[in-house]
Every structure is written in C-alpha cells, then in structure tokens.
Structure 1
Amino acid sequence: QHETLEGYRHYFNQIVGFFVVEDHILHTTQGLVNRAYVEELWELALSKTIAALRTHSSYCTDPDLILDLKNLIVLFADTLQGYGFPVNQLFDMLLEMRDQYGEILLKKWNQSFRQILDQDNYSPIPVASPEEYQRIACQFPFQDPELDKIPFPKKLPFSEFVPKVYSQLKEFIYACLKYSEDLHLSSTEIDDMIRKSTNLLLTRTLSHCLQYAIKKKNVGLAELVQIIINTTHLEQSCHYLEEFISNITNVPPDTINATKLYGTSTFKDARHAAEEEIYTNLNQKIDQFLQLADYDWTAAQGGAQASDYLSDLIAFLCSTFAVFTHLPVKLRLD
C-alpha cells in the first residue's frame, strides 16, 4: 500500500511541478507560451490523469488505500486550482470513486457482521458491576428503569451482538464521513450520502447477515428467541443512529427531503423471519416427538393416571415453551 501511494504521490508531484513551471513562464515571460497553449496542455493532462486513475482505482479493494488516494487527489486538485486550472472533472471523478469506496466498505462490513453473528453466544449479557453496565451503555444506548432497580449481578436482555453491531454501524458512518470530507460538498449533500450508504448497509448487508444467521442449520429455539429480542433492541436504537448522523453532519434529521434510515424495517424483517423459523422448528419438533415416541395408543381402559404419552407431551411442551418466557411481554402478546 505504501509503495502504491508513493507511486501516486510521485505521479502527482511531477504533473504539479510541470504546470507550476508553465504557469510561472506564462506570467513572467512574453511570447514563450500563451494561455491557450497551457490550457490545452492541461486539458490533455487532465483527461489522461483521470483515465489512469479510473483504471488503477478500479482494481483497488482496500478502503484505506482509496481514502488515502482520495486525499492525494484532493491535494493535487486544490493545488492546481490555486494556479487557476479547472479541476471540476477531478472532483466529479472523486464522487464516482465514492460509489466504489462504498461498495468496498459494504464488503468489509459484511465480513465484520458475519463474524459477530457467528461468534455470538446468543445469551443475555451478564453484568456483575456498575462499571460493566456502564461499559455496555457506552457502546449501545440502552435504558430500562425496571432493570436499573435490580441489584448486581444481573443480566441485560440482549446478547453481545447488539452492542457490537451498533458499534459497527457507527464505525461505518465514520468511514463514510471520512471520504466525504474536503470534497467541497454542502452539509446536506454529505448527510444525504452518509444516510444513503447507511441504508445500503442496513437493508442489504446487515439484513442478509441476519437472514443467514436465522436460516443456517442447527439454530435452536433459544437462539431464535434471542435474535428476536436483539433485533427489537436494535430497532429501538435507530433514532439514536439518526441523531448520531445529524450530530456529525450538523443537519437536523427532520430537515425537508432528508433521507430517512431504513433500520426499523431491516430489524422488523429479521424478526419476522425469526418468528417464521420458530414456527417451522416447533412443528418439526412436535412431528419428531410423535414419530419417535413408542406409545401404546390403544390402552385397554382408562386409568386414574394420565397416559405416558400425555405426560411426556406436556413435559416436552413445557420445556419448549419455557424458552419464550425470555421474550418481552409485548412481543409475547404480539
């Protein structure tokens, strides 16, 4: 990466050096060069530079390298603009590169989300002290007055993937902001770009990762219930994400034409998918229970005791439905 950047830096320095000299000659001598000649040279150099940058940057898969390259191009453009050379085409190209940068970020965050979901234990987070509680509260905006009344140690309702996913969402927003800086864009334009990119992250990348976690083999009822709880809390945090973006772009979320985040729908869709999976799993479990059970279905006469079949079935259903007691009351009623 360092060598690649150095190559770009050397390339830009040569072009800047050439045109600074040409500009100096134009302004300090008579008859050696004229304005039309210098402008024609610049047009030619600019078109070749942009073509070369488009070709080279298209092979880049490292977001940090693209960010560094963008900063070099901005410096290059601002320097030459200072000498009166038109550089709008360079900034147009940087906006094109912004789309490529966004796609690379989405791929990177896809891996991050997959890793978080794969490594999660899908169990409520135990907190033994106020310090631990505060550490998680710093990562994820969580408020529960009822839980606050319970003495330590206690458990938060969600698993580790909630604060981790939320932190990654914020990291992504920061990464988007970094590219948008110094492109001579208005706050509204930057805000719009960040929100649109974040929506892609939510509706495409994170949504697919959640669906993958829900649909993969051997996901138990307890895990599915925890996913429902987790996505409920992430959904409730969406307005904090809106505020977070507004705070870094200085554009109020209620601004006319401001792009809204689709986080709510992403987490609702994931929750519905988990609910459907639970329904399917329950049916399969009951079918398996009936198939595996070896009962005498034709008892000679009724007795004072409940049949083994009924006793086992009730025990099975009790243990199965005990999982759902972890759900918030509102979700259980839904």
Structure 2
Amino acid sequence: MSSLPLQLVQIIINTTHLEKSCKFLEEFITNITNVLPETVHTTKLYGTTTFKDARHAAEEEIYTNLNQKIDQFLQLADYDWMAMEPGSKASDYLVDLIGFLRSTFAVFTHLPGKVAQTACMSACKHLSTSLMQLLLEAEVRQLTLGALQQFNLDVEECEQFARSGPVPGFQGDTLQLAFIDLRQLLDLFIQWDWSTYLADYGQPTCKYLRVNPTTALVLLEKMRDTSRKNNVFAQFRKNERDKQKLIDTVAKQLRGLINSHHS
C-alpha cells in the first residue's frame, strides 16, 4: 500500500490531538495571565480553526487518494467482452483491489469513526460508479452473457467486501447499497426478467427500481449484435430469429418507457 494514506492518517490523528489540546492550553494561559475571556475567545477560534482546517484538508485528501488508487487498479481490468463462458472466480485485478481496500481500512481503525465510514462509503461508491461506466462505455460495442456473468462475479466480490464490515459503524446493509444499481442491472439481464421489469416499472416496490430504462437499453443493444454470432441466449432454447425478435421487442418497450418519461 502507498505510504500516503498512512501519512494522512497520522496527520489527522495529530491535528485532532492538537485541536483538543488548544482548549487546555487556552485555559492555562487564561489562569496565569488573567486575560479577559472575550480576548481569549479570539485566540481560541484561531488556534482551533487552524488545526480543524488542516484535519479537514487531510480527510479530503484521503478520499481523493483512495479514488485515485481505485482508478489505477481499474486500468488493469482486461475483460473479454466476447467470452462464451465466465471464469470460475473474480478477476485478478478486482481481487487485488479488494485486498488493497481491506488493508487500507484496517489502518483506518485509528481514525475517528465518521472519517473512516465516509472514506469507506466514498470508495465503494466510486468503485461502483466506475464499474458501471466500464460496462457501459462506448468502446464496448458488443458483449456476451458469459462476459456479463464474469462481470457479475466481480460485483459479488465487491458486495462480499461490503458485507464483511471493513470499518465499524455501518447500520445493516448500508454499505452494500453502494452497489445496488449494479446488482439490480446484472440480475435483470442474467435472469432475463424483463416481464417483471416492464410490468412493475414506475412502482415504488419495483424489484428493479434502480434500473434506468436508458441504461438497460444501452446494455441490451450491446448484446443484440452478439446473439447470432455467439448464440448468447442458447439457454432459452429458441432459434435465432425468435431470440432476435425477443430482444427487438424488449428494446421497443424500453424506448417507449424512455419516451413517456421525457414527454
């Protein structure tokens, strides 16, 4: 792990200690000098604010640094978007990334609880958003169900990390919710559960409430052109024409949802 997070953690610990110490220093000066309380107040604000500002700056740098490290790992992602079958485990780059996050947050136990929680949630949200962008980026013009299943293994690894409680203080599945958009999108496609999605769309209890129809259509279009070449939907035991017709029908309904939403 880079030494920078460790340095930032130490800065936060030190400035927090100094900030608390200001109170005792100011009381000591008041007692020995008999300075009026309103005069001390000016010094108190300056001293406390200085250390507080330094601490906040270090906290923000931690969040930024973590996101940058996540981006570095994601640059190592090398998905075979045309894979016929998924691998047997999560991608190596993702396993290494989760290992880095675990070791980092183990150090964060020395930080104030809120700082550690914010850093962890920020990292998980950034990872989730980046994975979604990776899946939907324009350069990925085609993908197979096998590729999507491999991607799902990686998201499951992220969810397991969130469930493991990398930092204390989160209530229930709060941290897992950082990956809810990915989870619902992947479940919809892997289970091919369009009848449920289309029937319940717009209802607050919808199973796929977090799946935007525009996002779903983008992903569906990527799978459309691979269905004939790679027999993507073989598990449905339909001929190629029926499978293509099914995709076209779903795509048309998704466009209808999008148009009705914007009208």
Give the structure-2-normalised TM-score: 0.45
| Higher Rg of the two aligned structures | 1
